[in-house]
A and B are shown apart, each in its own frame.
Chain A
Amino acid sequence: MINKKVTDVRAALHGVSDGMTLMVGGFGLCGIPENGILELVRLGVKNLTCISNNAGVDDFGLGLLLQKKQIKKMIASYVGENAEFERQMLSGELEVELIPQGTLAERCRSAQSGFPAFFTPAGYGTEVAEGKEVREFNGKMYVMEMAFSADFAIVKAWKGDEAGNLIFKGTARNFNPCMCGAAKITIAEVEELVPAGTLDPNQIHIPGIFVQRIFQGEHYEKRIEQRTVRSRT
């Protein structure tokens, strides 16, 4: 067994530096690597390019990096609900590339899987397709999209073992599995880190080969963005 365990978040993020491109897992605030993001704030690394479906909210998630102006460019599919983000984008301080959500996921998976590019119908005929190769297959038009190239992927899972095997919970899975192995180094933080041999190999969502460093995170807030409930009556 190749041991991927590192002592803590500091050791896990060793080597992250200014100007790097980072993939960050999560959908909204669900399944985000809370410990990893706080460590990026503490490190104060700047001029980052962040690939993440969303940009957090003003005071949580990637919003914390935006507040400190650590992000130079954001690649995302949806960035509502974040006033500071909107201000930085409209003023031109922040470079933003908005891409369709399925394209974002597939650009991660392509990087993970060794495909340099793929064709998708998403965005054909829109500004997303401007400057990109388009091609017809079976009478329908498709846009060529490229795999991402990133330095680090920082993901969050529910359980993991020392071999780097990961299990996700609920919709906190989202982009996290797609980003594993899609960057030069993948860092996984988990709520519970167990010895190798503890997890059932049948239940593993992401095999450890896609993960280089794993650690057990602390103090998960798991903030809910839209608390919706129904009454019992």
Chain B
Amino acid sequence: MALDKIGIAKRIAKELKDGYFVNLGIGIPTLVANYIPEGIDVDIQSENGVLGMGPFPYEGEEDADIINAGKQTITTLPGASFFDSAMSFSMIRGKHVDLTILGAMEVSDQGDIANWKIPGKMVKGMGGAMDLVASAENIIVAMMHVNKAGESKLLKQCTLPLTGVKCVKKIVTELAVLDVTDRGFKLLERAPGVSVQEIIDATEGALVVEGEIPEMVID
């Protein structure tokens, strides 16, 4: 069965390594913070100016002056720090942040990503996404494999305005885990009960399938 959003978040959480500084985008990526594996210490950076982000506050303890980049009220953990926007992006462009997890509308089999604009329809802006994807060494995209009409969002070429070029390293969808390689998307794992053929059918871009493809392990 295809994963739901929580399943995608849980699978991505397994990519976290001890000592990582991580930036989480809005949507599914934010959920990853709820499933950080036992025994692993990561610090979450939010580009509006906080490192060491904690869970949401208890009701009545919200502080309008302490929010994340999704404008949600948050708390901070011991060791946290606040800083201005220029310093925040020094952390990002300067490669001090180890991993960026963000959402996408489309990705291409060369690792291009589009997630900020649908011409004539929706223009919310790129926020920090262009800085993040242009700088991070390691970028994982959390996204749906197909759109509501059933069309693939893993493409040969993105059709929407790009956020960044040749930058995506790994993709986790409701159907599969894939790496972006020189030969296109490489299938690594399939969602429980999802067949390789279903993933082939849902992927428009070049897809490399080699050997036995294991099912994802999600607790």
Given A102-B92, A126-B130, A228-B72, A108 and B86 contact (CB-CB distance below 8 Å): yes
- Chain A, residue nearest B161 (CB): A127
Partner of A122, one of B50, B67, B135: B135
Partner of A101, one of B65, B72, B89: B89
- Interface residue tally for chain A (C-beta within 8 Å): 60
Taking Cβ atoms with an 8 Å cutoff, the residues of B that contact A are: 46-50, 55-74, 82-86, 88-89, 92-93, 112, 116, 120, 123-131, 134-135, 161-166
Q: Which residues of A contact B88 (CB under 8 A)?
A: 102, 105
A223 to B163, CA, bound (A): 31
Partner of B131, one of A101, A168, A174, A232: A101
Given A79-B125, A227-B62, A231-B59, A105 and B67 contact (CB-CB distance below 8 Å): no
10 tightest A-B contacts by CB?
A102-B89, A102-B131, A125-B165, A80-B124, A222-B64, A100-B130, A170-B65, A105-B85, A121-B134, A78-B125
Q: Which residues of B contact A125 (CB under 8 A)?
A: 112, 162, 164-166
A178 to B71, CA, bound (A): 20
- Cβ A226 vs Cβ B135 within 8 A: no
Interface of B is mostly: loop
- Cβ B126 vs Cβ A100 within 8 A: yes
- Chain A, residue nearest B114 (CB): A126
Task: Identify 20 new A-B residue pairs, CB closer than 8 A, beyond the known A78-B127, A121-B93.
Answer: A29-B64, A30-B67, A31-B65, A77-B125, A79-B123, A79-B125, A89-B123, A90-B120, A100-B131, A104-B85, A106-B89, A121-B134, A122-B134, A126-B130, A128-B130, A170-B82, A171-B68, A222-B65, A223-B64, A225-B71
